[in-house]
Amino acid sequence: PARYFDIKTTEPISFFLSGLEELLAWKPDGNDDFNISTVPLAKRQPPLHSKRPRTLVCHDMRGGYIDDRFIQGSATRNPYVFYHWRYIDIFVYFSHHTVTIPPVCWTNAAHKNGVPVLGTFITEWTDGEKLCEAFLAGGEEAYRAVSEQLARIARHYRFDGWLINLENTLSAAAVRNLPHFLRHLTAEVHSTVPGGLVIWYDSILRNGALRWQNELNEENRVFFDACDGLFTNYNWKEAHLERTRELAGPRHTDVYVGVDVFARGEVIGGGFDTDKSLRLIRQHGLSAAIFAPGWVYEHLGEENFLQNENKFWGLLAEYLPTHSICTLPLATSFSLGMGTSRFLDGKEEEAGPWYDLSAQEIQPLYPEHKGRLSTSCCLQDAWYGGSSLRVQGTIPPGEEQVAVRLFSLQMPAPPKLFLTLLYKLEGPHPDEFTASLEITTWDSGICHEGNITSLPEPNGRYHPRFLPAPPPSLAKLLAACHRGSNGWTSRCYELELQNCSLRDFSLLVSRHQPSPQETSFTCLLGEVRVLDAASVAASPPQVQSLAASQLWWQ
C-alpha cells in the first residue's frame, strides 16, 4: 500500500493522516511494523516533571516527511540532523497535515538521548472549522472517539503524546466541549503512554474566536487547565511574560513561551539573536518553545550547517539547563546518523553519503569556550558509523592538562567500573600529548577510591587505572583494548569506588612536558564506554523466538 511503502523504491516510509475519516479509520496494520519505535525512552536527570524551566523544540521543515520519511535511511547529501539533545526536554514534529505522526527515526534518536517526542494534531481554515464542528459540536461520544484514537496512535508507534493546534474559529457548541476533549485526551494519553504529554497551542479563546494571545490569560486559561502545558504564540513583549508568570502560579514551567527562530512578525530576537528571547523568558522562570531551529539549515544553507548549528546552540547554552545520564552502560561512537562514508573499526567500509537518524548514537554535551575549546563532528574520519567527535583546544601556559566534560552523570557509582577509550591525536605534534579519562564524583565526604585506606581525592576527581590487558572474562567485549588500528589508539581502564555518586565524565588531554607556551591540540574521539563491571561479567541474555518477515529479494 502506498501509505506504507515508497512507490518508486518499495522502501518502507513514515506517514501522516489527513482528515477526520482517516484518523477514525486508523487501526494497526502489519505493513506498519517498520513505523514502531524500537528505542525505549532513556531515563535522564532531572526528570521532565521537575520544576525546572524546560526547553521544547518544535521542528517544522519544508512541510515535513522529506528525507526523514525513509525508515531505513537514504543516500541524502548534507541532510538536516539535530544532536543537541542534552540541552532540550521535549521534541515536537510539526507539519500541516491533520495528524502528524513523527517519523520513527526521530523518535528513535530522541529516545536514545532521553527526550520525549510529540506528534501534532492540527486543524486550519474552513476545512478545520468543519472538522472541529464534526467532532466537537456533537456529543461526548464524538470527541471521545478522537481522543481515544490519538492516544492509541501514540501508544502503537511508541511516541510520547501530542501538540494540539486548532487554528480556526469554533462555534459556541464546539468551544463548550473543547476543554472536555482536552481533559479526556490528556487522561487517555497519561494512562496509555508512560510519561505521555498533551500541550495546547495558544490560538483559540474561550468564546471560540481565533485570536493569538502571546501569553496565558483568562481568555485561554481554561485550555491550559485541561492539559499538560501551553505553547504561546511568538509576538510577546516582557509585560506578557510578567502577567503569564503571575497567572500560572506553581505551574509556571508548564508555559512554553514561543520563540520563532525565523523572527516573523513583531518578535524579540530570532536567528543568532535568539538568546535575547531566551534571556527574558528565563528571567521570568518560564519554559521556552523554540520554533523552527531548522532556520540554521534552511536560511544559512547546507554547506556549513554543522558549524552554524554548533554556533546557534552555543549562543543559547547559557539559558538551556542540561541533562545528566543516570544509567549504565554508557557507550557511544558519537555518530550523528549521517555521513559522507561508513566506517568500521577505523576503516572506511563504504564511500558515499548516507542519512539514517535511527543510527544516531548517544550525543555528548558540546562544550564551547571561545578560543580555548571547541567540540564538533568530524565526518572525514571515524571509528564506527559516520563520524567521530573532534575536540580542539589549548593547554594554558604552565598547565599540564585540560579536562573536557563530555557527559554529566547522576547515579550511584557501582563498586567497579570499566572504561574504554578510542582516540586519535592530530596536528603538527601529536606525540607531545596523551589522552585519558577522568571521572568526578559529587562531594559527599564518604566517597573514596578502592580500598578503605585510600584517601578521598581532592575535588572528587578520579583518574581510572590503565589496564594493559583486559581481564579474561572481558577479553571478548573489550577486544578493542589492544586492537586500535588505522591510526586509532585504544585504551581500557578500571576504577573502584565506594559510597560515591558519579558526576562528570571527561576527556583528559595532557602534555608530556610542562611548557611556558600555550599548546594547541586536536583529538578525535572514536568511541567511549563506561561499564558496570558486575553486569559486564554476567552472561548476556539469550535471544529467544526470532522471526523474520517482510522479505523482498531484489
Rounded to whole angstroms, the Cα distance separating 12 from 210 reads: 38
CA-closest candidate to residue 467, choices 453, 446, 481: 481
Interatomic CA distance for residues 533 and 440, integer angstroms: 18
Query: Residue range 158-174: average pLDDT?
Result: 98
Phi/psi of residue 45, nearest 5 degrees:
-120, 145
Mean pLDDT of 517-533: 94
Nearest to 220 by CA among 228, 212, 170: 212
Q: Under a CB-based contact definition with an 8 Å cutoff, are residues 375 and 364 in contact?
A: yes
Q: Each residue of 415-429: pLDDT tens digit?
A: 999 999 999 999 888
Segment 265-283 shows an average pLDDT of 95
Q: How many residues does the structure list for the chain? A: 554
pLDDT tens digit string along 335-344?
999 999 999 9
219 neighbors 175 (Cβ within 8 angstroms) = no
Q: Out of 150-154, 321-325, 516-520, which region has the weakest mean confidence (pLDDT)?
A: 516-520
The three-state secondary structure class of 534 is helix
Cell of 214: 502571546
Task: Please say whether the beta carbons of 222 and 247 come within 8 A.
Answer: no
Q: Which of 196-210, 373-387, 505-519 has the lowest mean pLDDT?
A: 505-519
Sign of CA dihedral 479, 483, 488, 492: positive
> What is the mean pLDDT of the segment spanning 421-447?
88
pLDDT, tens digit (0-9, with 9 covering 90-100), for 234-247: 999 999 999 999 99
- Split at pLDDT 50, 70, 90, the class of 471 is confident
SS3 194: coil
pLDDT at 445: 76
Q: Which range among 29-33, 91-95, 421-425, 549-553 shows the weakest confidence by mean pLDDT?
A: 549-553
User: Which cell numbers hold the place of 181?
Assistant: 476533549
- Strand partners for 124: 167
User: In whole angstroms, what is the distance from residue 304 CA to residue 314 CA?
Assistant: 15
Of the listed ranges 111-115, 268-272, 301-305, 455-459, the least confidently predicted one is 455-459
Q: Kindly state the average pLDDT of the residues 223-233.
A: 98
> Domains (ranges, CATH) in the chain?
16-29+50-321 (3.20.20.80), 330-537 (2.60.120.260)
DSSP 79-140: ------GGG-SEEEE--SSSEEPPPHHHHHHHHHTT--EEEEEEEEHHHHHHHHHHHHSS-H
Q: Which residue has the cell 573489550?
A: 478
3-state percent breakdown (helix, strand, coil) of the chain, nearest 5: 30, 30, 40
pLDDT of residue 132: 97
The whole-number average pLDDT for the span 266-274 is 93
Element (H, E) at 439: strand 433-441
Q: How far apart are CA 507 and CA 406, in angstroms?
A: 7
Query: Residue 451 above 80 pLDDT?
Result: no
pLDDT band of 386, cuts 50, 70, 90: very high
Residue 20's nearest CA partner among 183, 116, 138 is 138
Does residue 46 have a cis peptide bond before it, meaning omega lies within 30 degrees of 0?
yes
Q: How high is the pLDDT of residue 541?
A: 80
Three state DSSP letters for 233-254? CCCCCHHHHHHHHHHHHHHHHH
CB atoms within 10 A of CB 25: 10
Is residue 373 classed exposed, middle or buried when 0-12, 13-18 and 19+ CB atoms within 10 A define those classes?
Answer: middle
Nearest to 537, CA basis, from 360, 386, 393, 415:
415
Structure-block grid coordinates of residue 21: 475519516
Mean pLDDT, residues 248-257 taken together? 98
Q: Chain-wide mean pLDDT for the chain?
A: 93
Secondary structure class of 481 (helix, strand, coil): helix
Q: Are 100 and 94 in contact (CB under 8 A)?
A: yes
Q: Determine which of 51-65, 350-364, 505-519 has the lowest per-residue pLDDT on average.
A: 505-519
Can you give the pLDDT at residue 481? 54
The model's pTM is 0.96
Percentage with pLDDT > 70 across the chain: 96
Dist. CA 336–CA 200, nearest whole Å: 31
User: Tens digit of pLDDT for each residue in 108-151?
Assistant: 999 999 999 999 999 999 999 999 999 999 889 999 999 999 99
Q: Note whether 372 and 473 are within 8 A (CB).
A: no
Give the span between the Cα atoms of 47 and 24, in whole angstroms. Answer: 34
One-letter amino acid of 295:
W
Residue 551 scores a pLDDT above 90: no
Q: Could you give the CA distance from residue 378 to residue 391 in angstroms, rounded to a whole number?
A: 9
Q: And the C-alpha cell for 502?
A: 558519579
Q: What's the pLDDT score for residue 61?
A: 97
* Per-residue confidence band for 67, with pLDDT thresholds at 50, 70 and 90: very high
Q: Which three cell numbers stand for residue 237?
A: 513583549
Burial status of residue 147 (CB atoms within 10 A of its CB: 0-12, 13-18, 19 or more): buried
**Distance (Å, whole) CA 490 – CA 480:** 6
Which pLDDT value is given to residue 10?
A: 87
Asked if residue 277 has pLDDT above 80, the reply is yes
Q: Are 415 and 448 in contact (CB under 8 A)?
A: no
Pairing, β 161-167 against β 117-124: parallel
Q: DSSP class of residue 206?
A: T
Query: Mean pLDDT throughout 3-11?
Result: 91
Name the pLDDT band for 250 (thresholds 50, 70, 90): very high
Nine-digit cell at 340?
A: 559522507
Give 109's contacts (C-beta < 8 A, 6+ positions apart). 82, 85, 337, 357, 358, 360
Q: How confident is the model at residue 483 (pLDDT cuts 50, 70, 90)?
A: low
Note the pLDDT of residue 274: 97
